[in-house]
Amino acid sequence: MFARHNQYINCGLFLCFTLCVFLLLLSFEFKNVNKYKLTKVVIFSRHNLRTPLSKNLQHITPYTWPEWKEKPGILTQKGFMLESYMGTYFKDWLHDYGLSPDSCPDEDLFYVYADLMQRTLESAKAFVLSAYPNCNIVIHRSVKKTDPVFRPYIHNNSDSFRRIAISEMEAILNSLDLRSSYENMESILNYRASDSCKLDKRCEMVGEKNVLNISVGEKPSVKGPLKLCNEVIDSFLMEYYNGFAPQNVAWGKLSQLRDWQSILDLTVGYHSVTYNTTLIAKDIAKPLIMFMKPLFTNESPKVSLLMGHDSNINVLLKAMDFKNYMLNNSLVSVPIGGKIVLQKWYDVVKKEYLLKIEYIYQSTEQVRDMVVVSRDIPPQFLTLELKSCPVNEEGFCPWDVFIKFLNDLYNI
């Protein structure tokens, strides 16, 4: 009987201990859920799915290219729908954190600015109509013929800038080992049977020269096989994303992931040479960063959406010196419709503001299969980090450090 009494006591102590641990964990989880408050969001987005940019590739292959209903560089109907999915998702995401009202938001809460091109304006329209249907939300745009915020043009006209910029481009170009990638591309195109080889005697890409140029008011220029291959890969990617049958994507020659990987270094190399040198990136990105700065420092708007291009994201990432990253489930590092989401959070316990930056994007298969993203089937998330603002284990860095970095970037 005494042993049974001890057994009851031990059992009671165990239940009491278990209950205490559970309540402690519940209390800890509750505090964590309510520890941070989202106060501001700046979304920089690449436009969604479009048609290929180039229409002059017939001379580099004997094969016939697919025909498109839309003109080059136009947002497709599928791209409009994919961006509308992201609009709905972001509305719910922002609502969960108290930054999206049930009614129509005013511009103190939600502000939209887009580049003048059809694909950016239509992407912004798709996002807005889906997030806030039946609301009269203005999509702001430049009154100029070309928007200086989004145009990836060179601004510095000094000889010293041009000399250093060209030398940086050459250094990256010379560091690239693209022989096997060129050879794989030649095989996909059947390059030796093309007019380029038969008529122009250009039969081996690896032996052709890439010519670099920097001119004020123009994009950094790379003319030669590297640019040509970037245009070809753009066409292949748009075919795949838009859901073309496998036999119609690169004439059936990119059926496996390893096939894509055999040529993607060419487009990585092209963007590295043109936009990923420090001097060029800081020069091109300055109007964009200066435009974005008040969106961070002013009280309103609470949420901003900027709709631009992959070139904008490339120079932004380099100019602001982001750490290298790798996106899961994406063929490229700047995916179509992907968004750099800069967030200002308030730690209610420590009484301080924090920065968190995430890449939010649809995976390659979500794009190709036209998956409706939602709370249950979310897009992809990756936390990004600035070299000047190291993050903690939760992905936060001090807001004041971020603002100081922005002020120091162009000595403003």
Q: How far apart are CA 346 and CA 289, in angstroms?
A: 23
Known catalytic residue: 5?
no
Q: Which member of 47, 265, 271, 309 is catalytic? A: 47
Over the Cα atoms of the chain, what is R_g?
25
Q: Provide the 10 A C-beta neighbour count for residue 65.
A: 15
- Burial of 208 (C-beta count, 10 Å sphere; 0-12/13-18/19+): middle
**Which residues have CB under 8 Å from 312's CB, separation 6+?**
44, 46, 150, 152, 285, 288
Q: How would you class 318 by CB atoms within 10 Å of its CB: exposed for 0-12, middle for 13-18, buried for 19 or more?
A: buried
Asked if 178 and 205 touch (Cβ cutoff 8 Å), the reply is no
Distance CA(171)–CA(163), nearest Å, equals 12
SS (H, E, C) 317-379: HHHCCECCCCCCCCCCCCCCCCEEEEEEEEECCCCEEEEEEEEEECCHHHHHCCCCCCCCCCC
Task: State the DSSP H helix or E strand holding residue 88, giving kind and residue range, or none if neither.
Answer: helix 77-96
How far is the C-alpha of 184 from the C-alpha of 188, rounded, in Å?
6
405: its two tokens: 């970095």
C-alpha 57/C-alpha 271 separation (Å) is 20
Beta strands in 63-213 (DSSP E): 110-114, 139-140, 211-213
Q: Which amino acid appears at position 84 of this protein?
A: S
Catalytic residue check, 47:
yes
User: Using an 8 Å Cβ cutoff, are 52 and 230 in contact?
Assistant: no
Which residue in 147, 310, 321, 400 is the catalytic one? Answer: 310
The CA-based angle 247-204-214, given to 5 degrees, is 100
Which residues are annotated as catalytic?
47, 310
